[in-house]
Amino acid sequence: MSNIETSMERIAKNVGCGTTALRGRMELILSEQKTTWSESGKDEEQCTLLALRVAGRQIKSENDKVKRSGCTNFEGMFLTSPRYKDWAEMSYKKMATTLSSGDENIRNALVEQGKIVVFEYDPETDGYTKHSNASLDRKDDFVAGRHETNVSVLPKEAVEIDSNTHYYLVWNATTPLFPSGDKNFKYGAARPQSEKERTCLFFGRKQGSSDWSTWTFRFSGELANNAWPTYTPGSIGMRPARNGSTAYGKLKVSNFVADDSLTESFPADPMAIVKQEATEWLEKGLQDLDAYYAAHNGDKDWWDQWVATSTEVVHIDPRDKGGYIITVGDSDIESMAPTVDIYVDEKEGDSINFGVGSELLIVGAPWQNRDGEMQLSITGWWCIDSLSPVEVGGWD
């Protein structure tokens, strides 16, 4: 075994990660620093050893940060990574539709109920008349009502109804205090125009544990912008809820680190895990979506369900801004089910090491369009059988 390999195994053991994760970080550091180090007189082996030591320190520092933050390191893989939902944006759009009718009685009623605050332009003062609920303004217990005050500028959260009228949603009008007794900062405050949240399923375990299970991971704000790679083994720091199987992401702590060496620890491969964890496995492929919808669309948890099946790659197209669009369909030539597109962003572009005709596991949320056709919003995928195999390690 070479000096590099020996050092890598020792450092990986000391910092608590797999050699694959350590090698990946080392190669990243080499790509960024090798030229500078070479110009300073270091040879190939010295550059590699230095990159290895720096990689080890970085990973140890990140692990220490997770521990200090109160988070826990989870090992496993993302089963689903759907698009984020912006709950505030949806609420503002819904309210805009209600207010666009121009009915003053509706606006006044919503103000009295503590749902919105309205601003009307006053040409005499070049300011605004603010229509709001007085009890919310004072942060007192809620009492229905409406009063007027004058303000000189609009708050940043204000949204235009028309050229003379703006409004914002009230973030909370029911709970002045948290259960702890602390003041609820959302009470009577303007709701931000954006509240992103991404809810993913993660099959894994707490580092050091042998108990594998499916966790619900919630990411909000800036973290919700991350499209986490599915069916890639690795680790991530998360803050577990007190009860249940939910954990929350923390900014600057929840960073997913791929680690192929973890595949040896999983209780099964992705196909077997998905068949066990998904709401339903579509045995005949996408053509089973109609029957699935007919059987389950009335379920109260319909929107939380996810299905899985195996498909065949029929086309791969590069995207203008990097990444690919992979079109998949049923392998059964007699299937009349429409094809499905998988959008792969630039960050995951290197994972497309297979060609047309390859077999992909796909997971997603089924829904029906206005024409009555079944659709599947893809939330995760994994290459089961590649027609252009590339030696990348992992589950094979």
pLDDT tens digits, one per residue of 53-83: 888 888 887 777 777 778 899 999 999 999 9
Which candidate, 222, 275, 272, places its Cα nearest to that of 86?
Answer: 222
- In this prediction, the residues of the chain whose per-residue pLDDT falls under 70 are 1-2, 388-396
Beta bridge partners of 381: 362
* Half-sphere exposure for 236 (CA within 13 Å, toward CB): 31
Which candidate, 220, 155, 153, 150, places its Cα nearest to that of 189?
Answer: 155
Superfamily of domain 270-385: Nucleic acid-binding proteins (2.40.50.140)
pLDDT tens digits, one per residue of 142-154: 999 999 999 999 9
CA distance 47 to 34: 6
pLDDT confidence of residue 13: 80
Name the burial class of residue 24, with classes exposed (0-12), middle (13-18) and buried (19+) by CB atoms within 10 angstroms of its CB: middle
CA distance 21 to 8: 10
pLDDT tens digits, one per residue of 181-238: 899 999 999 999 999 999 999 999 998 888 999 999 999 999 999 999 999 999 999 9
pLDDT confidence of residue 392: 46
Read off the amino acid at residue 187: Y
Query: Which residues have C-beta within 8 Å of that of residue 199, sequence separation ≥ 6?
Result: 82, 85, 216, 217, 218, 219
CA distance 77 to 274: 11
Exposure letters 308-332 (e unless 16+ CB within 10 A, then b): bbbbbbeebeeeeeebbebbbbbee
Query: Which residues have C-beta within 8 Å of that of residue 310, sequence separation ≥ 6?
Result: 271, 285, 331, 359, 360, 361, 362, 384
pLDDT confidence of residue 1: 46
- Report residue 83: phi and psi, to 5°: -60, 150
pLDDT confidence of residue 260: 84
